[in-house]
Amino acid sequence: MRFTAMNRGQSGKMAMAAAALSVGLLALTGCGYVNAQQTSHQYAASDGTRADVGPVQLRNMLIVSAGENQPGRVIGAVYNSSSKDVKVTFKGAEGAQTEVPVKQNSYTLLNQSTDAATLSTTGGKPGTVVDVQVTEDGTNVNKTVKIPVVDGTLKEYAAYLPGGTPSESATPSQTATPGETATPSESATATPTAGH
């Protein structure tokens, strides 16, 4: 083996290159340490909220209303993972309530239902979050869920304002056929998002 001696300039360049490489590696690994991986956290990637009430899973839930004391339409997806049909009741402010039937192992998209789930009083101005008690009658589990209120300012929601014009894309309530398995998906959006 033959070793050649490095002059002082060459060894300095090697040391600087090694230092730069180690700083770069520290910066890359430090990002993963400081910032949590987004794929390991579940969150509602939409304007709406999500919650689980017994075997019922609510996804992308919103209330569309013109004002606090005005009627509000509940939109979003309601999944029923149980082996029997259930009725899901939404109770809002001042005794306002609406019921939604959901078949066993299936789902209902409230924004596509021709029988709108409407609360007689929203109980909050658009831009606020209201408490809604959600109950499913299969196991009688109930939970208070915070649901955002939006108005028709964004065109994605204008068609859902109670008393507004029906959506062009509205179709009867979708449910999974007996051979299908309806499972909640974080990537499935039941309501349009506003450029988020």
pLDDT per position as a tens digit, 79-123: 999 999 999 999 999 999 999 999 999 999 998 877 899 999 999
C-alpha pair distances (Å), 150 with each of 38, 64, 124: 27, 5, 10
Question: What confidence score (pLDDT) does residue 132 get?
Answer: 97
Question: What confidence score (pLDDT) does residue 178 get?
Answer: 41
Question: What confidence score (pLDDT) does residue 29 get?
Answer: 57
Question: What confidence score (pLDDT) does residue 32 get?
Answer: 55
Question: What confidence score (pLDDT) does residue 5 get?
Answer: 58
Token output for 51: 């919650």
Q: Which residues of 82-91 are buried (b: 16+ CB within 10 A; e: fewer)?
A: beeebebbbb
Question: What confidence score (pLDDT) does residue 170 get?
Answer: 38
Task: Kindly give the parts of the chain with pLDDT less than 50.
Answer: 43, 165-196
If one counts every other C-beta atom within 10 angstroms of the C-beta of residue 43, the result is: 8
Q: What is the three-class DSSP state of 33?
A: helix
Question: What confidence score (pLDDT) does residue 37 get?
Answer: 58
Question: What confidence score (pLDDT) does residue 61 get?
Answer: 96
